[in-house]
């Protein structure tokens, strides 16, 4: 594990974006696993800035998002389809058919999960998987449980996850109760994982995930088993690391 701490969000965002654009500069056909949420917004901003400076092109890149809410229309401002448009896709030259996000409105959600896993299989290995971390240790929407699922699946969101995401919605009642998420098996198969964690409220969970027991009660603890894990923390989230 390679853990880096930053004394400003700007430096963390630049470092995260630098890792992503550096990969594409050396492999223009890179397959990226992408995350949503508050954490990566600034990283995407820096990636877009690099694109605008002509430093990187996404024409041959393929992306797979980790998750999407079930039942939220794609055009809803808080859908992860909208998020990706707003923060990345509309600003860069990535052909839309190469950007994959689970369809949380599919008539048959099980079939959609199979379709998503088949697409991932066809693309080969994800070169870089970007991850945030939930306060309960979730990665993607793989919530703490007695067992974890390897492939894409429908998940019922934990109450704490809905509460954490309520800040993006008019009220808690508006936060969807289910999502489709990439499974932990798929996440762990990525060649490299870039875990980004910010804020004092995540200091304990990131420390537990990376130094505590490997357990399905904390899905992110499985990242300890990954051979190429890079962790970017701000000083607040990294408080418990020397
Ligand atoms: P956040 O979410 O970036 O909005 O804190 C992270 C997560 O839940 O994975």
> Each residue of 196-231: pLDDT tens digit?
999 999 999 999 999 999 999 999 999 999 999 999
Mean pLDDT of the region 83-96? 98
The CA 55 to ligand 1 mean position distance, Å, reads 28
Q: What integer pLDDT is reported at residue 146 of this predicted model? A: 96
Residue 43 counted as domain residue: yes
CB contact set of 241 (below 8 Å; sequence gap of 6+): 3, 5, 207, 233
Residue 111: domain span? 2-234
With respect to residue 131, please indicate whether it lies within any of the assigned structural domains: yes
- Let me know if residue 242 belongs to a domain: no
Instruction: For residue 29, give both structure tokens.
Output: 């056909």
The model's pLDDT over 64-77, given as tens digits with 9 standing for 90+, comes to 999 999 999 999 99
Domain-embedded: residue 240: no
Between helix 9-26 and helix 41-52 the angle, nearest 10°, is 50
Q: What is the mean pLDDT of residues 169-179?
A: 97
Q: What DSSP assignment string belongs to 20-70?
A: HHHHHHH-TT-EEEE--SSTTHHHHHHHHHHHHTTS---TT-EEEESEEES
Q: Is the CB of 238 under 6 A from ligand 1?
A: no
Whether 226 is covered by a domain: the verdict is yes
Domain count, the chain: 1
User: Cβ(133) to ligand 1 under 6 A?
Assistant: yes
Q: Is the dihedral of CA 92, 97, 99, 102 positive or negative?
A: positive
Ligand 1 mean position to 54 CA, how many Å? 30
State the average pLDDT over residues 2-29.
98
User: For strand 67-69 and strand 192-197, is the pairing parallel, antiparallel, or unpaired?
Assistant: unpaired
* C-alpha 38 to ligand 1 mean position (Å): 6
Q: Any catalytic annotation for residue 91?
A: no
CA of 133 to the centre of ligand 1 (A): 5
For the stretch 87-92, contacts whose Cβ atoms lie closer than 8 Å and that sit 24 or more positions apart, written own/partner, are: 87/40, 87/41, 87/44, 87/45, 87/48, 88/34, 88/44, 88/47, 88/48, 91/48, 91/51, 91/52, 92/47, 92/48, 92/51, 92/58
Atom of ligand 1 nearest to the CA of 133: 9
What mean pLDDT comes out for the span 107-112?
Answer: 98
Phi, psi for residue 160 in degrees, rounded to 5: -65, -30
For the chain, give the number of residues. Answer: 242
Q: Which of 65, 143, 226, 234 is an active site residue?
A: 143
| Active-site entry in 136, 160, 235, 236 | 136
Please report whether residue 241 resides in a domain: no
Q: Catalytic residue at 93?
A: no
**Mean pLDDT of all residues in the chain?**
98
75 catalytic residue (yes or no): no
Q: What is the pLDDT of residue 211?
A: 98
With CA atoms as reference, report the closest residue to 229 among 216, 240, 239, 214.
214
Ligand 1 atom at minimal distance to the Cα of residue 199? 5
Q: Which residues contact 223 (CB under 8 A, 6 or more apart)?
A: 131, 139, 188, 193, 195, 209, 210, 229
pLDDT digits (tens, 9 = 90+) for 28-50: 999 999 999 999 999 999 999 99
pLDDT of residue 192: 98
Q: CA-CA distances (angstroms) from residue 1 to 93, 194, 204, 237?
A: 32, 10, 18, 16
Instruction: Tell me, yes or no, whether 212 lies in a domain.
Output: yes
Q: Which ligand 1 atom is at minimum distance from the Cα of 35?
A: 9
CATH of the domain at 162: 3.40.50.1360
**Ligand 1 in reach of 102 Cβ (< 6 A):** no
Q: Is residue 222 part of a domain?
A: yes
Residue 67 catalytic? yes
């Amino acid at each position: 594990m390679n853990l880096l701490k930053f004394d400003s969000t700007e430096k963390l965002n630049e470092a995260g974006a630098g890792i992503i654009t550096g990969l594409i500069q050396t492999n223009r056909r890179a397959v990226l696993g992408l995350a949503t949420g508050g954490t990566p917004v600034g990283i995407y901003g820096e990636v877009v800035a690099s694109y605008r400076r002509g430093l990187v092109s996404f024409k041959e890149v393929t992306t797979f998002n980790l998750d999407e809410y079930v039942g939220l229309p794609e055009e809803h401002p808080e859908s992860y389809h909208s998020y990706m448009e707003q923060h990345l896709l509309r600003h860069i030259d990535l052909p839309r058919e190469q950007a994959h996000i689970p369809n949380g409105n599919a008539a048959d959600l099980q079939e959609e999960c199979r379709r998503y896993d088949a697409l991932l299989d066809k693309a080969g290995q994800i070169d870089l998987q970007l991850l945030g971390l939930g306060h309960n240790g979730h990665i993607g929407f793989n919530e703490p449980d007695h067992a974890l699922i390897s492939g894409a699946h429908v998940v019922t969101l934990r109450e704490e996850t809905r509460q954490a995401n309520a800040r993006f919605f008019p009220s808690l009642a508006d936060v969807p109760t289910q999502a489709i998420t990439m499974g932990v098996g798929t996440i762990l198969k990525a060649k490299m994982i870039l875990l980004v964690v910010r804020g004092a409220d995540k200091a304990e969970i990131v420390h537990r995930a990376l130094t505590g027991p490997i357990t399905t009660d904390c899905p992110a603890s499985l990242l300890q088993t990954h051979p190429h894990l890079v962790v970017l923390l701000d000083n607040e989230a990294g408080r418990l690391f020397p």
